[in-house]
Structure 1
Amino acid sequence: MRKKVFFQIVDTLSMGGTERMSINISAVFSEKGWESHLIVSRRGGGLEAQIPEGVIVHFLNKKAFYDLFAFFRLWRLVQTCGPTLVHAHSTSIYWAVAIKWLTSKFFLVWHDHFGLSDQLDVYPRREMKFFARWINKLMVVNEKLENHWRKELSGRELDILFVGNFPWLNLKTQDKFEIFTFLNLANFRPQKDQLNLIKAVKILTSQIQKFQVLMVGEWIDNEWIAKVKDEISSHGLEEYIQLIGPSTSVESYLAKSHVGILSSESEGLPVALLEYGLASLPVICTNVGDCQKVIPSEEFGWAVSPKNSSQLAGSMLEVLTNYPDAIQRGKRLQKKVEHEFGKECFWNAYQTLISPKIQLV
C-alpha cells in the first residue's frame, strides 16, 4: 500500500487566518495517519511555536517570486517525498502549479482565502482561469468565493467547494487578567480596521475607566501600524490599549482574556472568531463576511455594523456592565463552534471534495 503523504504550502507562519488554518490542517492530517509536511515559502513567524508534534516543517527561504534556489528546494522536496496530495494556500498556488508542470504525479488542491471577497469585481484575478487547468480541486472560505469561481470556471462546479475554517486549540486553565481585558487577535493591516476599535475605546472611556484592549497580531503593513499608533497617541489611549504584536502565547491570551473582539471591515470566516468561541469567550465582532454564521443572533454574542465605532462601543459597554450574561453567551457559542465548525466537520467536507480520486482514510 502506497504511503499517504500530504504536502501543504503556505507563504509564512505569521498569525493570520490563512497561516493558522495551515497549521490546523497539518495537525488533522497527521492525526489521521498521513505523513504531514508543512512547507513555508518565505519565513516563520509567531505561529512557529504552535506547530504540533508529527508535522514536518520545511522552510524554503524564498526571497522573491523568481527565487530559483527556493523553487529548486520545493521541487527537490516533491521528488524526495512523493506527495499524494498537495494543498496550496492563496498565492502559493503559482509555484504549486509550476511544480506540477514538471511532475504531474500529485493531486492539487488550491485553498482560496481571499479576504476581500466583497471586492471581487475590483480584484478578479483573471490569471487563475489559466492556472485552473492544473488544479484538481478548489476550496474556498466563503460562499461569495464559491459562487464567483463556479461562474468563472463554468463546467467545473463539482470541483469547487466552500469548506469553512476550523479552530484547533490546546488551552490550559489560567486565571483571568486582573483588569477586564478585550482581546483583539488580528494582524495589523487595513482589512482588520483596528482604527475602528480605537475610536470605540475612546467613546467607552467616557463611561467606563477600568478596562484594557490587547492587540495581538503580526506587523504586516508598516503604514497601517503607524496610523494605529498615531490614533492611539492622538486620543491619549496608551493606558487602555496595548500593542502586543506577534506572540507565541496566543493560547495564553485566549485563556486569560475576558472578551474576544474583532473590528474588521472585511473578512471571510476569521479563524480568530472561531478560536474565541472554542475558548468560550464572549464575542463582539463586525457583521462582515461569514461572521454572521458564527454569531447569527444575540444568543451567541454581539455582531455590529462595520466602521460603526458607536455600535462597537455600545456592545463593549453592555459586556462590561453585564458580564454574567456575556459568559452564558460565550458558553453557547463554544458548543456551536464545536458542533458546526470543528475539525471533524472539516475532515468530512474535505473527503467530499476530493473523493473518489483520493480516500483520506
Structure 2
Amino acid sequence: MIRVLQIIDTLQAGGAERLAVNYANELRNHNVVSSLCATRLEGPLLSSLDNEVGYIFLNRKSTLDIGAVLKLRTYVLKNEIDIIHAHATSFFIATILKIVTPSLKIVWHDHYGNSEFLDKRRVLILKFCSLFFSQIFSVNSILEHWAKKNLWCKNVSYVKNFPVLNKSEHDLTTLKGESGKRILCLANLREQKNHIQLLEAFKVVIKDYPNWTLHCVGKDFKDQYSTLFFKKIEELNLGRKVFFYDTKSDILNILKQSTIGILVSKSEGLPLALLEYGFAELPVICTNVGNCKELISDKSYGILLNNGKSYDVAEAIIRLVEDESYRLESAKKFSKKVSKEYSKHTILKDVVAAYSSIK
C-alpha cells in the first residue's frame, strides 16, 4: 500500500484546505494509508478529519522553522511515508523535507486562485522547488499550461476538484430570512471574491423583490477588505437584508436552506463552492473565470457572467428570482453534471494511478 501525507498550511475553511481534508479522508477507500499535516494553524476543518486518518500539527512559526521540519521528518520516517502531497503554499516545507529525506516523493497541488493574473505571480522560489517535484496537479487547465511553461517539473496534469459534503451533527447554523428566498455566497472575505459588486447588485434586486435575502458564509480576516465590506452594507442600508456568518463547518446544512448559489469572483481556479452548489442542487450564477465555463458550459446549467459588474449580476439574480421553472430545471441539470463529471471515485482513482507511476 502507498503511504501518502497531505500537507496544508492551515485548517481554516478555504477551498484548498477543504480539498486537502477531502483527499486525506477519501484516499483510505483507494488502498492508501492516509495522513494529514497542518503546518501553521489549525481550524474548524480539523473536526472534519476522520479518526482513522493520521494527523500531525507542526505549529510552524517562520518560513525556515527548523524545529518544524525536524518534527515533520520524524513523523514521516516513523510512519514510512512514501509521498508528500503538498497543497498550495506548503510546497516550500515539502521541498526542504525532500532535501533532507531524498527518498521521499513530492506531489504539488496548485490551487492558485488568481489564475486570471498569472503575470503577477511570484515564481522564482517556486521554480527552484519544482526541481524536486515528481508530479504537479493543477486545479484548472490555465494553471496546467502555466506550470508546463514556467516550472521545471516534467509531469504536470489537470486534476478536477471534487465536492464532499457530510452531515454535521452539531453547531448547526440557522439562516435568517424567508425560506425559499435566500441567496448564498460561499466565499471567504477576500478582494478576489468581489463581494462589493455583489452587494451593489443585491441593492438593485431588493427594490422589486424586498423579501429576498443575501447570506455570505466565509472567513473574516479582519482586514481592510473586511472593513470595506461591512461599511458597504451600512452605506447601502442592507443591514436587514444581508447576513454574514463567518466560517462555518455545516456547509451541507447551509446549502439545504438556500435557494440560489452565487459566485462573482474576479479570478478562480476551479471553485469548490461551485461544485458544492451543484452537489446540493442549487441553481447557480458564476463569473466566467478559471475553469468555471467547463462547469456552466451553456445556459441550461446556470448563468455564466462575462464580468462581475453590479448591473449584470443584478440582472442574473432577477432572472432566477422571476423564473422558478428555469431555476429548478437548470439546478437539476447542473447537479447531474457535477455528479457525473466530478465524481470523487473517478478523480481519486486517477490520482492514485499517478501516485503509483512515480518512480
TM-score scaled by length of structure 1: 0.92
What corresponds to 1:90 in structure 2?
Answer: 88
**For residues 196 and 48 of structure 1, what CA distance do their matches in structure 2 show?**
32
Deviations 1:257-286 (A, max 9, x none): 111111111001000000100111111111
Question: Structure 1 residue 199: deviation in Å?
Answer: 0.8
Deviations 1:91-125 (A, max 9, x none): 11111110111112222100111111122222141
Q: Secondary structure at the match of 1:205?
A: helix
User: Structure 2: 5+ residue runs without aligned partners?
Assistant: none
**For residues 35 and 355 of structure 1, what CA distance do their matches in structure 2 show?**
13
Q: Secondary structure at the match of 2:63?
A: coil
C-alpha change, 1:222 and 1:279, in structure 2 (3 Å) is same
Question: Structure 1 residue 221: deviation in Å?
Answer: 5.8
What corresponds to 1:353 in structure 2?
Answer: 354
What corresponds to 1:106 in structure 2?
Answer: 104
**For residues 5 and 355 of structure 1, what CA distance do their matches in structure 2 show?**
11
Within 5 Å, give how 1:1-361 maps onto structure 2: 3-153=1-151, 157=154, 159-171=155-167, 178-179=178-179, 180-220=181-221, 222-357=223-358
**For residues 89 and 151 of structure 2, what CA distance do their matches in structure 1 show?**
18
C-alpha change, 1:11 and 1:5, in structure 2 (3 Å) is same
**For residues 137 and 271 of structure 1, what CA distance do their matches in structure 2 show?**
22
Question: Structure 1 residue 213: deviation in Å?
Answer: 1.1
**For residues 236 and 287 of structure 1, what CA distance do their matches in structure 2 show?**
29
User: Structure 1: 5+ residue runs without aligned partners?
Assistant: none
- Contact between 1:48 and 1:248, CA under 8 Å: does it hold in 2? no
Question: Structure 1 residue 57: deviation in Å?
Answer: 2.5
**For residues 38 and 237 of structure 2, what CA distance do their matches in structure 1 show?**
40
* RMSD across aligned positions (CA): 2.0
Pairs aligned (count): 353
Identify the range of structure 1 (120-129 vs 72-81) with the bigger mean alpha-carbon deviation: 120-129
C-alpha change, 1:46 and 1:341, in structure 2 (3 Å) is same
- Contact between 1:118 and 1:266, CA under 8 Å: does it hold in 2? yes
Question: Structure 1 residue 355: deviation in Å?
Answer: 4.2
Identify the range of structure 1 (60-69 vs 38-47) with the bigger mean alpha-carbon deviation: 60-69
Identity among equivalent pairs (%): 31
**For residues 135 and 184 of structure 2, what CA distance do their matches in structure 1 show?**
36
- Contact between 1:216 and 1:244, CA under 8 Å: does it hold in 2? yes
